[in-house]
C-alpha cells in the first residue's frame, strides 16, 4: 500500500494538471512508415533466436539472442563463432510507448560511431501481436552502481571524465540522454576504465534542422533529475539548447557526489519531499558532513554542476578543464588522497591557519587562479 501511495503521488505530481506538459505522440502508423530502419516486413523470430533472460526494464525484458545465419543448419547456431546480441522485448499497444521505442532506435542509430554508447542494430515492430523487439549490443559488464564503492579515486576520476566526454559528443549532435544514473553506465575496470552508456529509452533530440524543440516530459529517475524537469517552463530558442543539455550535467553532478560521498545529495521519505529538496534555493547537501569532508576542489566541482539555474552549470566541454582532472591533482594509485602542488598545499595551510577548516569564495578563487584554471576559462559563478 505504501508503494502504491508513492506511485500515485508521483503520478499526480508529474502528470497532474499542475505537473509537466506531455508531448502527445503522432499517429503510430505514420511514424512507422517514415522509419526506413524499422523491420516491419520481417519478423523477429525469422531473423533471430531468442535465448535466456538477462535483465528487465520499466517496459521491457532483456534477453540474449543469436542472429540466424543465412542458408545454414540449426546445428551451426551452437557454433562459438555465432555473435551474441541482447534484445529488448516489449509487449504493448500503447502508442506513446511504441512511439518512444521508435524514436529511441532512430536516435541511437545516429551514435553508432561512439564506442562508449551501446550499439543498436535492428528494430521489429509488430502491431498485430503487440510484441516489439530492439536488438542491441550485448555487454557483459557490471554497472557503476554495482562497483563504485570499490573504485579508487583515480578510477572515479577516469569514470567521470569518460562520461563527460561521451556526453559532450552526444550533446554536439543535439541529443540529450535524460536518464543518466549509475545503473545506466556499464563499466570495465581492467586493464583501464572503459564505460558504455545504455538505456536511451527517454532520450530526446533537442535540435532539429536548426529549430529547437522543448522536450520536457516526466521521464528519467527522480533522484538524478534536474530541478527544471519538475519546474517546467518555456524558454527562448537560445536558452532551450543550454537548458536541455544541462539536464545531463546535473545528473553527472549527482553521480559525482555519489562516487565521492557514497550517498545521494537529495533523498527523502516521500517523492514530494525529495523534489522539494532538489528544487530548493538553498540545497541542504552542502551542509552535510559527507560533503564537508571533501576537499575544496571536489566541493567546488560538485557545486558548479549542481547549480539550480541550468545556464550556470558547466557544459560538458568545460568540465574536463576543472582542476580536479589535472594530472598534478591526480591521486597516487595506492592512495585515495588528493595530491596537490606544493604551492597549493602552502596556500591551503595559510588559509586554514587564518580561518580554520573553511575558506571564503574569494580565497578559493585565489586557489583556482594559482592552478591557472581561471586563466584558461571563465565560468559563471
Among the options 179, 199, 248, 300, which is catalytic?
179
The Cα 243–Cα 136 span in angstroms is 30
Torsion of CA 236, 237, 242, 247, to 10 degrees: 70
Rounded-to-integer distance, Cα 165 and Cα 91, Å: 35
Dihedral sign for Cα 258, 260, 263, 265, please: negative
Query: How does DSSP assign 53-107, residue by residue?
Result: EEEE-SSEEEEEEEEPPTT--GGGGGSTTSPEEEEEEEE---HHHHHHHHHHHHH
Structural contact between residues 66 and 48, judged by C-beta atoms closer than 8 angstroms: yes
Half-sphere exposure of 242 toward its Cβ, with a 13 Å CA cutoff? Answer: 12
| Ordered alpha helix ranges (H), the chain | 2-15, 28-34, 44-47, 95-109, 144-147, 153-172, 227-231, 237-261, 271-278, 289-292, 296-305, 342-355, 361-370, 373-376
The residue whose grid cell reads 541529443 is 175
Q: Is 94 a catalytic residue?
A: no
Largest CA distance in the chain: 79
Q: Check: CB of residue 181 under 8 Å from CB of residue 255.
A: yes
Dihedral-angle region of residue 328 (phi above 0 means left; psi in -120 to 50 means alpha; beta otherwise): alpha
CA gap 57, 35 in Å, rounded: 24
Residue 370 CB-half CA count within 13 A: 18
Residues with catalytic roles: 179
Amino acid at each position: 500500500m505504501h508503494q502504491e501511495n508513492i506511485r500515485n503521488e508521483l503520478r499526480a505530481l508529474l502528470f497532474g494538471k499542475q505537473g509537466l506538459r506531455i508531448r502527445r505522440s503522432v499517429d503510430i502508423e505514420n511514424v512507422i512508415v517514415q522509419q526506413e530502419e524499422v523491420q516491419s516486413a520481417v519478423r523477429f523470430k525469422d531473423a533471430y533466436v531468442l535465448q535466456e533472460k538477462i535483465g528487465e526494464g520499466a517496459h521491457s525484458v532483456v534477453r540474449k539472442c543469436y542472429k540466424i545465419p543465412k542458408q545454414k543448419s540449426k546445428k551451426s547456431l551452437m557454433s562459438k563463432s555465432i555473435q551474441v546480441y541482447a534484445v529488448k522485448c516489449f509487449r504493448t499497444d500503447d502508442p506513446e510507448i511504441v512511439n518512444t521505442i521508435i524514436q529511441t532506435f532512430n536516435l541511437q542509430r545516429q551514435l553508432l560511431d561512439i564506442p562508449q554508447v551501446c550499439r543498436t542494430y535492428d528494430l521489429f515492430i509488430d502491431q498485430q501481436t503487440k510484441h516489439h523487439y530492439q536488438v542491441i549490443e550485448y555487454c557483459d559488464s557490471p554497472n557503476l552502481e554495482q562497483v563504485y564503492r570499490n573504485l579508487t579515486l583515480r578510477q572515479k576520476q577516469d569514470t567521470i571524465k569518460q562520461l563527460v566526454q561521451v556526453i559532450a559528443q552526444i550533446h554536439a549532435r543535439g541529443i540529450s540522454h535524460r536518464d543518466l544514473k549509475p545503473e545506466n553506465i556499464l563499466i570495465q575496470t581492467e586493464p583501464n576504465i572503459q564505460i558504455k552508456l545504455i538505456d536511451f529509452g527517454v532520450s530526446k533530440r533537442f535540435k532539429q534542422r536548426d529549430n529547437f524543440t522543448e522536450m520536457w516530459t516526466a521521464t528519467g529517475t527522480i533522484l538524478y533529475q534536474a530541478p527544471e524537469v519538475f519546474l517546467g517552463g518555456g524558454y527562448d530558442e537560445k536558452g532551450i539548447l543550454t537548458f536541455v543539455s544541462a539536464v545531463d550535467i546535473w545528473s553527472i553532478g549527482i553521480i559525482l557526489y555519489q562516487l565521492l560521498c557514497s550517498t545521494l545529495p537529495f533523498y527523502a521519505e516521500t517523492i514530494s519531499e525529495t523534489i522539494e529538496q532538489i528544487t530548493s534555493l538553498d540545497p541542504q547537501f552542502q551542509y552535510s558532513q559527507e560533503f564537508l569532508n571533501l576537499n575544496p576542489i571536489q566541493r567546488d566541482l560538485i557545486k558548479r554542476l549542481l547549480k539550480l539555474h541550468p545556464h550556470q552549470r558547466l557544459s560538458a566541454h568545460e568540465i574536463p578543464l576543472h582542476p580536479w582532472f589535472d594530472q598534478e591533482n591526480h591521486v597516487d594509485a595506492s592512495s585515495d588522497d588528493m595530491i596537490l602542488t606544493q604551492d597549493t598545499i602552502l596556500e591551503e595551510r595559510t588559509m586554514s591557519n587564518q580561518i580554520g577548516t573553511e575558506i571564503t569564495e574569494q580565497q578559493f578563487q585565489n586557489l583556482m587562479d594559482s592552478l591557472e584554471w581561471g586563466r584558461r576559462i571563465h565560468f559563471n559563478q
